């Protein structure tokens, strides 16, 4: 018996990916063609930088600076 295929909406996948650090994104670049093309768009890159800068700022405010 074949298991049902579960897929997340594309917008949700992009939102999740945009929260990840750049190092992880470079590894995930080869997961599938859709992820690769999505990760490389200027819009995604600017959103990712914005999210990562905000996370860095919040971690420093919490005293969790690395």
Of the pLDDT bands very low, low, confident and very high (cuts 50, 70, 90), residue 63 is: low
Enter the DSSP assignment of 2.
P
- Distance (Å) of CA 45 to CA 18, 20, 22, 32, 62: 8, 11, 9, 18, 26
Enter the DSSP assignment of 41.
S
Contact 18, 44 (CB under 8 A): yes
Q: For the segment 35-51, what is each residue's pLDDT rounded down to a tens digit?
A: 888 888 888 888 877 77
Please determine, for residue 5, whether its predicted confidence score (pLDDT) is greater than 80: no
Could you tell me which residue, 8 or 61, shows the higher pLDDT? 8
Q: For the segment 19-34, what is each residue's pLDDT rounded down to a tens digit?
A: 888 888 888 878 888 8
Give the pLDDT confidence score for residue 65 in this predicted structure. 47
- pTM confidence score: 0.60
């Amino acid at each position: 018996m074949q298991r049902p295929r579960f897929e997340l909406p594309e917008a949700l996948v992009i939102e999740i990916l945009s929260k990840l650090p750049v190092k992880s994104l470079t590894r995930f670049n080869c997961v599938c063609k859709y992820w690769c093309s999505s990760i490389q768009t200027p819009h995604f890159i600017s959103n990712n930088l914005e999210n990562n800068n905000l996370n860095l700022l919040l971690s420093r405010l919490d005293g969790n600076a690395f």
